[in-house]
Chains A and B, each alone.
Chain A
Amino acid sequence: MRAVRLTLSRVAALLRALAGVPDYERYAAHMRRRHPDAPLLSRSELIALCQRDRFDRPGGKCC
């Protein structure tokens, strides 16, 4: 059962990565480790920030 859950969460992570959704856990871990004093963005704030990065400059998409 645990193996199934783990596989599912990995598949979900893969799908999110394919769609360009940031990995929040990774970001949060990074911020706690390297910048413990800086404000931590919420999950939605991080996604919003990455969306702006993706769509508001060239190089995100192609023909």
Chain B
Amino acid sequence: MARQFSAVQLLFTVDWHGGALAVRGGRKQFGPMKQPMKPLSMLGWIAVALAGAVALGRLALSRGETISAAWLLVAAFATYAVAYRFYSKFIAAKVFALDVTRRTPAQRLDDGRDYVPTHKWIVFGHHFAAIAGPGPLVGPTLAAQFGFLPGALWIIVGVALGGAVQDFVILAASVRRDGKSLGRMAREEIGPVAGVTAGLAVLGIMIVLISVLALVIVNALRSSPWGTVTIGLTIPIALLMGVYLRWLRPARVLEASAIGIVLLAVALYAGRAVAQSASLAPMFTLGGTTLAVLVMLYGFLASVLPVWLLLAPRDYLSAFVKIGVVLALALGILFVLPPLQMPALTRFTNGTGPVFAGKVFPFAFITIACGAISGFHALVSSGTTPKLLEHETDARLVGYGGMLMESFVAVMALIAACVLTPGVYFAINAPVAAIGTTAASASQAVAQWGFTVTPETLNALAAQVGESSLLSRVGGAPSLAVGMAHIFSSALGGGGGMALWYHFAIMFEALFILTTLDAGTRVGRFMLQDLGRHVWPAFGRVSWYPAVVIASALFVAMWGWFLYQGVLDPLGGINSLWPLFGISNQLLAAVALCVGTSVIINSGRARYAWVTILPLAWLVVVTLTAGWQKLMSPDPALGFLAKASALARSLAAGTLPAGRSAADVRRMIFNERLDAAVAAAFMIAVVVVLAASIAEWTAIVRGRKAASSTEVPAERGVESLVAVAGD
């Protein structure tokens, strides 16, 4: 006798991605159909997997010859395709049982502005624009000091098993909880201690993140009148757009953005005109400390001015430039398929690298955070995005797919860094303390590391990109810009216009960074006010100007301190700040994965908890090892405390480093200890969250405590029912 199915039962058994409607008798669990794959399609996927494996093998085994970036692209795309088709489908179907008919917060709470059901590709674009910042550009560039292989493997494998899983899991969890934030989920799924710790960790990470990004900008603009003028002009351009949108043509965002983009091009040429003028160029040739103060002033203004005037128009501009340049870079790389000049592995895997200290394990895995896995994304995945999803099944494309896209940006950054010859790469990225201040001393230092670059090449390259010097421009942005300029100018033939392309790339990176910096400062101000109101209620009033000014100044001072010290640091600051940022970002990812695991276990699916526990375990091992080494290593180049002791010894012995006063050295000692304290605080935070989580998990798995999910109960839409019935 044929089974009878009601309409509701039919809905329950719809294939989760909304495709073919099929019926499975007798099973209560929702999931994908156990339909055998068509032989042709299976053959196709085997071919993709094989192509990926061959490409990865080719990358891993290349020694002593340059290989084409095509291998890296094939390895990346094949892995992404297989991971998306199989692993993300598994997570969607088995771990969350995502259900196309289950109403999302956007459907249930639709208010036309915050919760808005939106087409999945638009949410994808929106989510990508929000998660993609300068992180995936800078990290891979710095990690190229180990050679291209460690970075490439971590980006490709890390995203498939870690980063994309994290973004997807947090997004799916938040969609099922009315779009709740990571902090609230931590509190409700793990416990109050974890919630508070996660909140404080976010504030700390914002401080370190903003300071290190500001340092990247300062290093890119130092003694560069062209860059300074171009970037400086983006601020009046944004103000102009703000005024235009407020009074001249209200709400015409696309019109204002088009004008803004044209003006950006004008700013690029204006920068060149200033740099070539004998009288104007010196006025805009600024030192690091001046630039640092200017960046702090900008952050302060962004935080106290109304958003419509500066932040919002700037954000429109950067969103369009970001997407445009990412697409252009992808086309450029595909068209040129440049050879990778960097070897697969350099001698610096042993920890003696000039760009940052530490061995390939664990430091490659914290240097590249965004692009492989980034805890910050968990804030976006539990912020705006879950309130926009039309169907919960869209979380797969948006969460998992969006992160694959970001990973591809990181692959492109890695390629752009590795098209430079190693000699040029190290001359740009090694600090003054390692290569001296002249092209000749840089050439000698590079030769000692086993690479060759002549002083003439270095000078010619600097002249070609319109800069007085490219030496020791640490932070990754300039070497990435040289790589991008190389790709763009080769794609358009002839290799001309390097100077314009270089400054265009710098402008692109600076826009990326400044939008993170200004938005981050403003959010940091709100978080400080929210914390401060417990002590002084008036401080929490977000529209009371004295409180706004004090909180903004306080937050800018916090990241400004690290920035300023980084600028003064003879090792370039990036050396100590970037690892600190990497550790903090990865620890936030660990917190997010703890939340994800708790969500999975609380929903009664503990048997699938390995999906988040696997990347969690790896991250905890990597970050705690890196954190421990940064704290405790006896090597002063690596350990903060060892460095502080070494400085204290030289102070006591009266043998100060060249050009430093006793007061300088005392300040440096304080900073090393401060960095150590920050690293220790992050480590303690993650251990607290992890311990609280494990206690919860074991209690539930052992049956001492009932699994209690905070999911909003399933509700199925009338619209969906009609749609299916009409099928």
Contacts and interface: CB of A to CB of B under 8 A. Distances in A.
Interface stretch (B246-254, B433-441, B631-639): B246-254
Contacts of B519: 55, 60-61
B332 interface: no
From A18, A21, A53, A56, name the one whose CB has the most chain B CB atoms within 10 angstroms. Answer: A18
B133 A60 contact: no
Contact of B379 (A15, A50, A56, A59): A59
Contact of B125 (A17, A51, A63): A17
A60 B130 contact: yes
A51 B319 contact: no
Given A30-B112, A62-B130, A44 B516 contact: no
Contacts of B568: none
Interface in B294-313: 307-308, 311-312
B497 interface: no
A23 to B, nearest CB: 7
B257 A63 contact: no
Given A18-B125, A18-B319, A54-B384, A60 B312 contact: no
A13 to B, nearest CB: 8
Nearest to B174: A59
B125 A58 contact: no
Nearest to B519: A61
B585 to A, nearest CB: 7
Interface in A8-63: 12, 14-24, 26-31, 34, 43-44, 46-63
Contacts of B126: 17-18, 20
B113 A50 contact: yes
Chain A at the B interface: SS class: helix
A55 B522 contact: yes
A21 B308 CA distance: 12
B314 to A, nearest CB: 10
Interface residues of B, number: 59
A51 to B, nearest CB: 5
Nearest to B320: A19
A12 B382 CA distance: 27
B323 interface: yes
A12 B251 CA distance: 13
B113 A22 contact: yes
- Range of interface residues on chain A? 35 or more
Contacts of B49: none
Nearest to A15: B254
B523 A62 contact: no
Given A60-B380, A62-B377, A55 B125 contact: no
Contact of B113 (A17, A27, A29): A27
A62 B380 contact: yes
Contacts of A34: 110
Given A56-B522, A58-B523, A12 B311 contact: no
B153 interface: no
Nearest to A27: B112
B134 interface: yes
B510 to A, nearest CB: 15
A59 B254 contact: no
Contacts of A43: 250-251
From A34, A58, A60, name the one whose CB has the most chain B CB atoms within 10 angstroms. Answer: A58
Contacts of B253: 16, 19, 21, 47
Interface string B336-377: 000000000000000000000000000000000110001011
A17 B118 contact: yes
Contacts of B542: 56
B315 A63 contact: no
A47 B209 contact: no
Given A43-B250, A63-B374, A51 B312 contact: yes
A20 B209 CA distance: 23
Contacts of A57: 383, 523, 526
B692 interface: no
Interface in B361-420: 369-370, 374, 376-377, 379-380, 382-384
Contacts of A59: 181-182, 379-380, 382-384
Contacts of B382: 59
Given A20-B126, A63-B209, A63-B516, A55 B312 contact: yes
B126 to A, nearest CB: 6
Contacts of B319: 18-20
B527 interface: yes
A22 B209 CA distance: 29
Contacts of A18: 122, 125-126, 129, 319-320, 323
A31 to B, nearest CB: 6
Given A20-B315, A26-B116, A63 B133 contact: yes
B307 A55 contact: yes
B520 interface: yes
Given A15-B320, A52-B307, A62 B125 contact: no
Contact of B316 (A19, A23, A27, A50): A19
Contacts of A23: 116
5 residue pairs, one from A and one from B, having the closest CB atoms:
A59-B383, A30-B112, A27-B112, A63-B135, A63-B133
16 contacts: A14-B125, A19-B253, A19-B315, A19-B316, A19-B320, A27-B116, A29-B112, A30-B111, A48-B308, A49-B113, A54-B312, A57-B383, A59-B380, A60-B380, A63-B213, A63-B374
Given A30-B112, A53-B114, A63-B134, 10 more contacts: A18-B122, A18-B323, A19-B129, A27-B116, A30-B111, A34-B110, A44-B250, A51-B312, A59-B380, A59-B384
